[in-house]
Structure 1
Amino acid sequence: MFNKGYTLLEVLFVVSTFAMLLLLFPFVRPPASLTSDTRRFMAKLEAAQLDAILNQHSNSITLSTHQLCFNEVCEALPASRSADEGKIEFNAAGNVNHAGTYCFHEGNQCRCIVIQLGSGRMALE
């Protein structure tokens, strides 16, 4: 009588071989999409606004063509992307000093964040 199954040893051998092959290749993370970069920037804006309110001091985020800076820490944008230049300032109450639209561009795609005057409400377009 023949068994038509695999033994536990055979299964463990195949799984361990597969795991070793995966370790040979570096994990490649796909580049973030334009929308996720825009959402990450919006999260930084909200963090700067909350920090200004909680600590009762003014805060700013500077956006240049290929990087954004918050609290003197700059983060580079991917080489294929660019952004509108500007400076967003929050006062101690969390309000912005001027309204604006800041866009991120990649090829023919564009994602924008609209910041309203006063309470600093933000919307992603």
Structure 2
Amino acid sequence: MSIAIEKVQMGKVVIDSKEFAVASLPWNHHPAFTGVALKHLITGKDTDGKFSCHVVRIDTGCEIGSHIHAGKWELHEVVKGKGHCLIENSKIAYGEGIVTVIPADLPHSVFADEQLYLLAKFVPALL
């Protein structure tokens, strides 16, 4: 069993000589996708809109339906759980240690076979 997400949750974020505990950040329920929540570790406010990083939790049997991030590249690092990502017509199995790059403007979705945790990073920033 992975302890990677537990280490992230108990860790801290350091940016511009400020630091804060990840555990102190709230989970934000996704407004469009049931069973999906995010912790915003680094936002565009922190980076002049250049980069953002989020912990994404997708509950078992739930999904982030097909969507695009206009003009934004996305990187998924799977830190716990199993599922898959669909990028256009490609299906990528998701499990611990998988890293996926999603080019800007490509439709994609993520489904959790078991509770899935991702570090999702965006260039430029999502928020």
Give TM class, smaller chain: under 0.3
Name the structure where helix makes up a greater proportion of residues: 1
TM-score (norm 1): 0.22
Larger Rg: 1
Name the structure where strand makes up a greater proportion of residues: 2
